[in-house]
């Protein structure tokens, strides 16, 4: 099957009735907020943002809708100001408002099977005036709307569906993938989904993509953007503000996963590439058995706020646990599955290294050497340093059980309230 044939069969665009309903609900919510703003005599205005405003909404069972409240320059503590407004709206409408902590706190309201994320921003006239990245949202919406027609909107939606299917959609810390705005910018720049795939499978490490040619000399990017924001495998200059890398959150792991999926799809296209994959425990167990390795599933729980905070805590701990496992095992396969609430499963297939060498102190440090010799066996000296050969005679499940027992304090410090070895 050819790529065009595959893409023509896919339908991830919400139908007109759905869009009309969502827009109506969003507009009504804006009216309710505007009414309260006027009542409290606050200088602010609402606007609908996100994928709905840009016509790049992916079809799904439950939709998230972004509503922004733009406050005048005179106001500080925008979240507190918005909370006061929304509490009055919620009371009048008999609705619940949840506060979500972030770089600037925002709010979540659920209504008629829609989730409204209501975000306070500063009313700025130039992107450089932004105090928070969310202040740029107004410019992002306008940039995309001016450049996207129905055909390109469909291409963007396919790009989002493809990335979501492969677990690389979302700039959240526990995903470290492509943001929606990032995929919109890339699709606009390359002129569609397939063209974007063909270009990105070829990009070199630290490739700089500058859609609006903000920089005459590309290397000057390295001087004008904070180094911490340039660690992504590709750098995408924000078309609305040249000092921002849109893909700063994208990890090498996520990008390589995307590239591998794209390479295979371009060679052998199929609808399955757009379907979200379930973790196949049976397949992982078979792989472990075939390679004479161990398989385990670790259940983790946190009491941190649902969403990015909880997901990030869980993923951070999994990264720490992975590094510990790598000291004793070769990792053949691993998967992290966050349930979008307060728990996650970590699936891992690993093969024992059989023997490792632990490096100790220099011979000259007598007390440290005595302590090292008491704790370790099979001691030998190399280059003036004590070494110990350690045989790995324990299974992965046993290692995980021992790890939990020895690291209860570490679990608490990292925000993990529960850890169970299921397999």
Alpha helices in 127-179 (DSSP H): 137-147, 150-165
Q: What is the mean pLDDT of each run of 10 residues along the chain (423 residues)?
A: 88 93 96 95 96 95 94 92 94 87 91 92 93 94 95 96 95 94 97 97 89 87 84 94 94 95 96 89 90 94 92 95 93 91 94 86 89 87 88 87 94 95 84
Q: Please state, in angstroms and rounded to a whole number, the distance separating the CA atoms of residues 116 and 65.
A: 5
Q: How far is CA 294 from the centre of its chain?
A: 29
Task: Compute the Cα dihedral for 186, 188, 194, 199 and give only its sign.
Answer: negative
- The pTM assigned to this predicted structure is 0.86
223-227 long-range contacts, CB within 8 A, separation 24+: none
Count the Cβ atoms, other than its own, within 10 Å of residue 131. Answer: 12
Task: Compute the Cα dihedral for 228, 229, 235, 237 and give only its sign.
Answer: negative
Q: Please state, in angstroms and rounded to a whole number, the distance separating the CA atoms of residues 180 and 160.
A: 7
CB of 388 closer than 8 Å to CB of 358: yes
| Inter-axis angle of helices 193-200 and 180-190, nearest 10 | 90
Q: Please state, in angstroms and rounded to a whole number, the distance separating the CA atoms of residues 136 and 295.
A: 45
pLDDT digits (tens, 9 = 90+) for 145-168: 999 999 999 999 999 999 999 999
**What's the pLDDT score for residue 56?**
96
Phi, psi (degrees; rounded to nearest 5) at 191: 90, 25
CA angle 152, 155, 160 (to 5 degrees): 130
Nearest CA to 69 out of 117, 126, 8, 115 is that of 117
Domain annotation for the chain: domains and CATH numbers: 13-132 (3.30.460.10), 148-274 (1.10.1410.30), 281-354+392-421 (3.30.70), 356-390 (no CATH)
Task: Compute the Cα dihedral for 155, 159, 160, 166 and give only its sign.
Answer: positive
Phi, psi (degrees; rounded to nearest 5) at 95: -120, 160
CA atoms in the 13 A half-sphere facing the CB of 267:
7
In the chain the first and final C-alpha atoms are separated, in Å, by 40
Count the Cβ atoms, other than its own, within 10 Å of residue 313. Answer: 23
CA atoms in the 13 A half-sphere facing the CB of 92:
11
Task: Compute the Cα dihedral for 289, 393, 418, 165 and give only its sign.
Answer: negative
CB of 139 closer than 8 Å to CB of 241: yes
pLDDT digits (tens, 9 = 90+) for 17-57: 999 999 999 999 999 999 999 999 999 999 999 999 999 99
**What's the pLDDT score for residue 405?**
93
| DSSP letter for each residue of 241-292 | EEEEETTTT--HHHHHHHHHHHHHHHHS--GGGGSPPPP-HHHHHHHHHHTT
Phi and psi based region of residue 169 (left: phi greater than 0; alpha: psi -120 to 50; beta: remaining): beta
Residues in the chain: 423
**What's the pLDDT score for residue 135?**
95
């Amino acid at each position: 099957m050819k790529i065009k044939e595959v893409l023509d069969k896919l339908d991830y665009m919400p139908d007109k009735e759905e869009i009309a309903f969502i827009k109506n609900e969003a507009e009504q919510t804006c009216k309710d907020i505007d009414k309260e703003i006027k009542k409290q005599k606050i200088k602010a205005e609402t606007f609908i943002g996100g994928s709905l405003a840009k016509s790049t909404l992916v079809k799904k069972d439950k939709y998230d809708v972004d509503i922004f409240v733009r406050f005048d320059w005179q106001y500080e503590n925008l979240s507190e100001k918005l909370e006061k407004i929304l509490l009055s709206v919620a009371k009048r409408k008999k609705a619940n408002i949840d506060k979500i902590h972030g770089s600037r706190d925002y709010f979540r309201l659920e209504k008629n099977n829609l989730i409204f994320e209501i975000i306070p921003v500063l009313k700025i006239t130039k992107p450089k005036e932004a105090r928070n990245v969310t202040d740029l949202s107004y410019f992002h919406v306008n940039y995309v709307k001016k450049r996207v027609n129905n055909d390109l909107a469909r291409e963007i939606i396919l790009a989002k569906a493809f990335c979501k299917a492969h677990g690389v959609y979302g700039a959240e810390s526990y995903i470290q993938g492509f943001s929606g705005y990032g995929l919109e910018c890339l699709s606009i720049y390359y002129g569609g989904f397939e063209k974007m795939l063909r270009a990105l499978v070829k990009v070199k490490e630290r490739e700089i993509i500058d859609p609006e040619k903000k920089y005459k000399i590309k290397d000057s990017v390295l001087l004008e953007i904070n180094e911490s924001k340039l660690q992504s495998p590709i750098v995408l200059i924000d078309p609305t503000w040249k000092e921002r890398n849109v893909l700063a959150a994208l990890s090498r792991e996520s990008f390589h996963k995307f590239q591998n999926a794209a390479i295979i799809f371009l060679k052998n296209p199929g609808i399955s590439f757009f379907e979200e994959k379930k973790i196949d425990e049976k397949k992982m167990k078979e792989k472990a058995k075939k390679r004479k390795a161990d398989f385990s599933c670790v259940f983790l729980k946190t009491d941190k706020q649902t969403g990015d905070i909880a997901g990030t805590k869980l993923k951070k701990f999994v990264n720490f646990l992975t590094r510990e496992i790598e000291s004793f095992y070769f990792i053949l396969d691993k998967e992290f599955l966050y349930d979008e609430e307060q728990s996650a499963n970590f699936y891992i297939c690993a093969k024992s290294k059989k023997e490792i060498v632990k490096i100790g102190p220099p011979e000259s440090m007598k007390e440290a050497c005595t302590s090292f010799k008491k704790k370790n066996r099979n001691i030998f000296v190399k280059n003036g340093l004590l070494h110990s050969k350690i045989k790995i005679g324990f299974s992965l499940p046993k290692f995980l059980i021992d790890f939990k027992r020895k690291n209860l304090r570490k679990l608490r410090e990292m925000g993990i309230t529960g850890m169970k070895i299921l397999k």
